[in-house]
Structure 1
Amino acid sequence: MAKESTTIDVGEPSNVTKSSSHIVVDGKKKRSFVVANAGGKRGLAIFDFLLRLAAISATLAASIVMFSAEETLPFFTQFLQFQASYDDLPTFQFFVIAVAIVASYLVLSLPFSIVTIVRPLAVAPRLVLLIFDTLVVTLNTAAAASSAAIVYLAHNGNQNTNWLPICQQFGDFCQIVSSAVVAASIAIVFFLVLIIISAIALKRH
């Protein structure tokens, strides 16, 4: 009976050793998964930061180019001149203000993007970026879409309402405002990618 008892006692530590080693292996797997997950999120965060820099360049260029849109037609006398400027149209004024606000937001969002690089598993900064990116892209889209409609009318006019195309006379002006709208549209694409990145980063939690 003593031998059987001894055999049972020897067997128990063996089982405990196996189970503890199993726990150690699971812990290593879990740590490796967390490290790999953090590495993937850090890569997304770096890409997010670079996209924000590109979006800042696009929005600043769009706002500055539209603000500088102006052309004066040469005429026989300086007392009678035809001039086209961005502030002649409220839509273009809205474009300059709205896109400037978008560019300012992007600059302010850079510290949050840096936090997601330093702490890739943090949820709060990523969630803040996702919410405000979604709101700001709406403003950017409204500015670009409304200005694109005016640019279309400037190029093609509208015979039903007797709106004549002005780009035949103000060619440089139309080219400048068209470039501004294109830059703002590129910024919209950047924002959509930023929103997708934030959604993917949050989904992996």
Structure 2
Amino acid sequence: MMKGSTIEGGGVISRRKGLARGLSIMDFILRIVAAVGTLAAAIAMGTTDETLPFATQFIRFRAEFDDLPSFVFFVVANSLICGYLVLSLILSLLHIVKSSAVKSRLLLVVLDTIMLGLATAGASAAAAIVYIAHYGNPKPNWFAICQQYNSFCERISASLIGSYLAAAILVILIIFSAVAISRN
């Protein structure tokens, strides 16, 4: 018999199953955390607006998230990712019960990678606009608006946290799935 693959009281096999089950449970928990992060990011960005009075009460300046296509893309991307993460919980539960499922793990790796690209694109597009809002760009005469729209800028900046958190968790999920696949 080969060393390391012997079954002495089920030691090697039970350790592998225990590791796979532990990875599957962490996968499930991380998917929930990432779904909450993307949902919070989409809600925070999607409900952001601020109105500033001008000289009179009839003339007002208004800043809304949908004034900028990058923010709309951010909200749509995070909403799609949240929906995907909630649906992927079904497969994640399957992996807790049946740790040897390889094809469904491969499917999750591919879909998680696509969602990681979408999360990165949405967060990066919004981050570029948030940077301009905070610091402006003097060459094309784009002024920083965050001195006037404090609440607006705080909310759009905070919404990026949930999206980048979800992107980081998706990277971890891809690594977990790769480790689980390599163990089978």
State the 1:95 CA deviation: 0.6
Q: Which residue of 2 aligns with 1:44?
A: 23
Unaligned 5+ residue runs, structure 2?
Answer: none
- Per the alignment, in what secondary structure is the counterpart of residue 83 of structure 1? strand
Identify which of 16, 39, 42 aligns with 1:63: 42
CA distance in 2 between partners of 1:135 and 1:82 (Å): 38
CA distance in 2 between partners of 1:27 and 1:50 (Å): 33
Percent identical pairs in the alignment equals 45
8 Å contact kept, 1:113–1:125: no
| Equivalent AA in structure 2 for residue 53 of structure 1 | I
- Per the alignment, in what secondary structure is the counterpart of residue 27 of structure 2? helix
Cα deviation code 1:144-168 (max 9, x no counterpart):
0010000000000001111000001
2:115 maps to 1:136: yes
CA distance in 2 between partners of 1:185 and 1:113 (Å): 22
Cα deviation code 1:79-138 (max 9, x no counterpart):
210000001001101111111000000001000000000001111221111110001110
Identify which of 154, 157, 163 aligns with 2:133: 154
2:146 maps to 1:180: no
| Number of corresponding residues | 182
- Per the alignment, in what secondary structure is the counterpart of residue 82 of structure 1? strand
CA distance in 1 between partners of 2:150 and 2:120 (Å): 25
State the 1:187 CA deviation: 0.8
CA distance in 1 between partners of 2:166 and 2:141 (Å): 34
8 Å contact kept, 2:136–2:143: yes
8 Å contact kept, 1:61–1:180: yes
| Equivalent AA in structure 2 for residue 166 of structure 1 | I
State the 1:28 CA deviation: 3.2
State the 1:199 CA deviation: 0.8
Alignment RMSD (CA, Å): 1.7
Closer, same or farther: CA 89–36 of 1 in aligned 2, 3 Å: same
| Equivalent AA in structure 2 for residue 114 of structure 1 | L
4+ residue segments displaced more than 3 Å: 26-32
Give the number of the structure whose alpha-carbon radius of gyration is greater.
1
Q: Which moved more, 1:95-104 or 1:67-76?
A: 67-76
CA distance in 1 between partners of 2:156 and 2:7 (Å): 58
Q: Which residue of 2 aligns with 1:117?
A: 96
Higher relative CO (Cα under 8 Å, sequence separation at least 6) belongs to 2
Higher helix share: 1
Q: Which residue of 1 aligns with 2:60?
A: 81
Unaligned 5+ residue runs, structure 1?
Answer: 1-21
